[in-house]
Structure 1
Amino acid sequence: MSAARARFLSTWSGPAGIGRDHRSGGYHRHGFDDADLSLREWFVEQAERRGLATETDRSGNLWAWWGDPEPGAVAVGSHLDTVPGGGAFDGALGVVGGLLAVDGLRERGVRPSRSLAVVCFTETEGGRFGVPGLGSRLLTGSLDPDAARRLHDDHGCSLAEAVRRAGVDPTHLGPDPVRIATLGAFVELHLEQGREMTTRHPGALVAVGAEIAARGRWSVLVTGRTDHAAATASRDRRDPMIPAAAAVLAAREATDADHSVRATVARLRAEPDDPAVIAGAVRLVLDVTSPSARRTAVVVDRILAPVRERATAEGCTVVVRRESLQDNALLDTGLGLQLSAALDAPVLPSAVGHDAGVLAPSVPSAMVFVRNPSGISHAPEEYLDPDDCVAAVDRLTDALQTLV
């Protein structure tokens, strides 16, 4: 076994053992929960082992600095949280890769002329509080801190309460323009989600991101009338599950009709949730990705139109609330071309949201995607070959060497 492979596997074993459901193989690591707090401790320990100076910013994101933070600094990293039941590599590869790239630069004898930070963003997946990119959006000011403090998880715990567990003062949540102004570039290493690289560029190990699609989430509440499931005839029902079912079908139809659109219904919950009862209400979340925020809004309206029609026919009401909407992000063209040339890598768009996309309007940002032959992500079956990971970290080190 090569030294690089042994070092990767040793470092990878830290996050790989935290928050894993041994029955399903999926991970449950969400912002400021027990698993996340363990991961935060792991990150700090790994950074300090390398002599990096660690700090937590006002929104709970973790930073590990090689050199004093100065204007023009380069940041590399991603996130350690997962979607519920998610895979091991999404996000974590970027954080582990950033730490190992520091090792690689030092082995090459590189003495950076610009300070370098490894960053771990918090609650990027939104698996606990429902807002993707929470930490990076608070940092950049694209999420209102008062609205963020009012967010609650499924158990009624507010974000304000949760961040206190990590030693973060909730009154300090919000934008950090000084920190943003310090950053001259941000690079995020990430597994590819989907099979575009394999399809368009077979044989390529990595690709450089060009842009990130727009993405939004809407919560939908359909209210009807609770009644007896066996005793109530169809003509007497006000069943909110009927309009909710229309949302599921309409989302699939929107995706089938336009291959640049991804629409998904999740967190569909009946209240009460009992087979002997016609629910009085159904809650669901609609997640939509498309080439632009305007297009996303059009798609959402089309999906909700049959929901409202069925609700009227069923005698139900519908309340829709937008939880988040991030416009498409063009990653920095100059930085992308520089990395593409340095890595001899193709350029690839992404339909998936990333912290790099949140930072892009404020900081020159780039993404380096690692091939994912199966295309599977956000699932226990998500997998990258360890040799590909080692090689990708080496390519990330190449990229950083051109920047620092």
Structure 2
Amino acid sequence: MDASTFRRMWDELLPVGRTENGYVRHSWTDADQSCRNWFRGQAEARDMAVETDRNGNLYAWWGPRRSRGAILTGSHFDSVPHGGAYDGPLGIVSAFLAVDALRERDATLQRPIGIAAFTEEEGGRFGVPCLGTRLMTGALDPDRARKLTDASGITLAEAMEAAGVDPGGLGPDPERLERLGAFVELHIEQGRALEADGDAVGVASAIWPHGRWRLTFTGEGNHAGTTLFADRRDPMLTFAFAVLAARKEARLAGGLATVGRVEVDPGATNAIAKRVDAWLDARAPDEATLNEIVSGLESKVGERAARDGTGFTSRAGSESPLVGFDEDLRDRVAALLGGAPVLPTGAGHDAGVLAAHVPTAMLFVRNETGVSHAPAETADDADCAAGVDALAAVLGDLAC
């Protein structure tokens, strides 16, 4: 694939959801609808049948969609708040271009090929990552999902209804899963391992176990200018300790921990807070290490809260176990790509959810800077074109 061919199609989608500070493409918003319309237009231009499943996931099919053993590829459109352009959309754009490449070779399908755009993968609006695939596989209760709210208090059910989609159908979709023979997701690498190795494309071996926890700190709201230190019950102090403790626990255990979101009540400059809510993201090479990080943090913060005279609670929001991708498929893909490097990732993906139900593989496209979930996220056009060639080779091998 010529890099200019990739660039022409990439530029069509690039303006959608772009702001002065990265991308805001949350699910069931105008930006999301624009992405969906673009998807339908690309599918229709290729005479691919389009459908939306009961959970809002979007599909385009080349070949009979009801056939078993279908090969599915794709990714997601939604972004983290003010994220980068490539995380998610690269896999969808590459999928359409890979279909073009196979058609140019007059490939004859033995199994249908589908392209998916899964909804709410990032959890950027409703707080639960991989929402569409979790619902599809039965990993998330549909009643709980319908009640999820965004920062404005809008429920998922209300957002779907506003977009013209019935939330009453949310839930497991075993028949669809049974029709799939394999799923292959192409994604920008979220790190610099490929850059260090000098390879444009790599293959995933596993996804680290990871999760999100809501940490709540409570105290006594009071005046910042009249309350003596000895009389304060300031939850901000306990929160600050928790941020540092999370990093320390993770470094000692060989994992990662991040607090990237915090809400303070009342949030006034001249007031001592009465409550702080923070969200912890923790990841590790194995589940025992992840549990060690979180339990160690909870213990130390509990002790600190007792000294500060504050309250502290921790509640799991989502937890994902270690995902090892299908070894036979992984090795087959790596060999097909001339011995492409195989590497693990600490980032979650829809592929990780589907891997428990369908043989699944992931391809990574080199990220020169390693920046992800931020406006500076980027990939070279030539590397993206190499990713399209790799995906086309894999899809052709599996479906033709």
Q: Structure 1, residues 331-356: CA drift from partner, whole Å, max 9, x if none?
A: 11111111111111121111111111
Q: 1:6 aligns with which of 4, 7, 10?
A: 4
Deviation at 1:148, TM superposition (A): 1.0
Amino acid at match of 2:277: R
Amino acid at match of 1:55: E
Deviation at 1:162, TM superposition (A): 1.1
Give TM-score, length-normalised by structure 1. 0.96
Give TM-score, length-normalised by structure 2. 0.97
Contact residue 212 and residue 353 of structure 1 kept, 8 A: yes
Asked if 1:43 corresponds to 2:43, the answer is no
Q: Structure 1, residues 204-263: CA drift from partner, whole Å, max 9, x if none?
A: 11111111111110111111111001111111111110111111101111232233x111
Amino acid at match of 2:39: F
Asked if 1:300 corresponds to 2:297, the answer is no
Identity between Structure 1 and Structure 2 (%): 49
Asked if 1:258 corresponds to 2:253, the answer is yes
Q: 1:332 aligns with which of 326, 330, 351?
A: 326
Output aligned runs, 1:5-154, within 5 Å: 5-22=3-20, 24=21, 26-69=22-65, 70-154=67-151
- Within 2, Cα distance between the matches of 1:276 and 1:41? 48
Q: Structure 1, residues 111-150: CA drift from partner, whole Å, max 9, x if none?
A: 2110110001111011111111111111111111111111
- Within 2, Cα distance between the matches of 1:50 and 1:283? 48
Asked if 1:217 corresponds to 2:215, the answer is no
Deviation at 1:90, TM superposition (A): 0.7
- Within 2, Cα distance between the matches of 1:95 and 1:297? 34
Instruction: Describe the SS at the equivalent of 2:294.
Output: helix
Contact residue 30 and residue 123 of structure 1 kept, 8 A: yes
Amino acid at match of 1:313: R
Q: Structure 1, residues 154-192: CA drift from partner, whole Å, max 9, x if none?
A: 000001111223332111111100000000000000111
Asked if 1:236 corresponds to 2:231, the answer is yes
Contact residue 146 and residue 156 of structure 2 kept, 8 A: yes
| Unaligned ranges ≥5, structure 2 | none
Paired position in structure 2 for 1:396: 391
Output aligned runs, 1:156-235, within 5 Å: 156-199=153-196, 202-235=197-230
Contact residue 356 and residue 367 of structure 1 kept, 8 A: yes
- Within 1, Cα distance between the matches of 2:24 and 2:297? 30
Deviation at 1:293, TM superposition (A): 3.4
Instruction: Describe the SS at the equivalent of 2:18.
Output: coil
Contact residue 149 and residue 160 of structure 1 kept, 8 A: yes
| Unaligned ranges ≥5, structure 1 | none
Task: Give me the CA root mean square deviation.
Answer: 1.2
Deviation at 1:269, TM superposition (A): 1.4
- Within 2, Cα distance between the matches of 1:145 and 1:298? 31
Instruction: Describe the SS at the equivalent of 1:83.
Output: coil
Amino acid at match of 1:49: A
Q: Structure 1, residues 294-343: CA drift from partner, whole Å, max 9, x if none?
A: 43222111112222122212222122221100101111111111111111
Contact residue 59 and residue 168 of structure 1 kept, 8 A: no
Contact residue 290 and residue 351 of structure 1 kept, 8 A: yes
Instruction: Describe the SS at the equivalent of 2:60.
Output: strand
- Within 2, Cα distance between the matches of 1:187 and 1:266? 30
